[in-house]
Amino acid sequence: MDKSNGLRVILFPLPLQGCISPMLQLANILHSRGFSITVVHTRFNAPKASSHPLFTFLEIPDGLSETQIKDDPTSNVLSLVEQININAESPFRDCLQKLLVQESERVSCLIDDCGWLFTQSVAESLNLPRLVLSTFKATFLNAYPIFPRILTKGYFSLSDWEAEDSVLEFPPLLKRDHSWLFREDGEKLNQFFDTVVKNTMRSSGLLFMSCEELEKDSLTLAKETFMVPVFAIGPFHSYFSASSSSLFRQDDTCIHWLDNQDDKSVIYVSLGSVVNITKTEFLEIAWGLSNSKQCFLWVLRPGLVLGAEWNELFSEGLLRSLEEKGKIVKWSPQEEVLAHRAVGGFLTHNGWNSTLESICEGVPMICLPGGSDQMLNARFVSDVWRVGIHLEGKIERKEIEKAVRMLMVESEGKKIRERMNVMKDEVGRSVKNGGSSLRSIETLVNHILSL
């Protein structure tokens, strides 16, 4: 850590794994630049304070019952965000007021997730500058102002030939992507998008876990769209690992297993911390992996399969086939896995964290997005950057087997890998001396000091 500058930053992540990890990585970045850090968090999905002894953690009530928590409220993310925004506003205001009075160091600003809808008003009422962290690709957040217009286009009931058309307002998405992108209630989504846009435009700055090498034009557009200073300081995990912020117990035995595999021989399979699949989809993935005859490491977190525990679904023959070629764990140290010499591909849901981690390690992807920004990330991976294969929503054993074999052993996979290695090098330069992200961090630090 640089010498303390006598200023404190308050961070407030949404209680989702994909939002908590980048916020705590950001906390490490700012702490290394001399800022003291206080993390305000909800009771649900509380980060492990013991893993971050240099920060102060303050818990606020979130209004979720024990029954709701047991039933996993992340199964419907929009409903969780809506409810927790209602429940947490008053406790957060009280907490922030006390912090501003009690802290011996001056609180310079609040940085919170763009999914918090009340924090801009609270911060303004207390004369505290607020900066917004987007855990999405800048391209996705830029589309928030136009999403309500897209929702009126009727892309949900299209003929087969229309479904393949691109969306002129939001390339590179296809029209059929929107039935997955907007699976929630349209009116609620419109209100959410509108509030996020207005709050961001009233903020003191916008942070992205991205870099110019990945989306320079989108970052320029973000400045024009939201009319606030924009800081592209990612990929965050290139500075500080996300492993200490995991909400799940990581199974490190998979690293020893990988040590015994050949270079680039293993397909890593993980659909993240929120995506759910049906029993049928689960079995199709299992048979696809088995039939591909490729080694695999498969993350099967509790609750991934709707209405069942995954180990109840395997026949004796399928289980025996999988055990011959693969290893199954409940959760993995993903950054370490992707960096391992044995991993040659990543079957992913294309959350932005996972997509960035895969790019930074030069691991080409098989795209199986679940919804929201994952659809956009997958399109960029497969159609724009051409560093992966899109399953196009076909969770069928033959399609999965075909994609795995194409990526891992066929000539097309070699070409994809070559393009990914070029991309890895380009993004890697952003976090080195003189790189775009490092320069942006220094600009951000100076901006916070000026508030």
Residue ranges per domain, the chain?
7-239+431-450, 249-428
Lookup result for tokens 């525990």? 309
**CATH number of this structure's domain 249-428:** 3.40.50.2000
Q: Which residues of the chain have pLDDT under 50?
A: 161
Would you say the CATH fold of 249-428 matches that of 7-239+431-450? yes
CA distance 293 to 398: 13
What's the pTM value of the predicted model, to 2 decimals? 0.93
70 contacts 40 by C-beta, under 8 angstroms: no
pLDDT tens, position by position, 101-122: 987 889 999 999 999 999 999 9
Residue 390 contacts by C-beta under 8 Å, 6 or more apart in sequence?
A: 367, 378, 379, 381, 382, 383
pLDDT tens, position by position, 174-230: 877 766 666 556 677 888 999 999 999 999 999 999 999 999 999 999 999 999 999
Q: What is the reported pLDDT for 242?
A: 64
Query: Residue 270: enclosing H or E segment and its boundaries?
Result: strand 266-270
Q: What is the reported pLDDT for 93?
A: 97
- Domain 7-239+431-450 belongs to what topology? Rossmann fold (3.40.50)
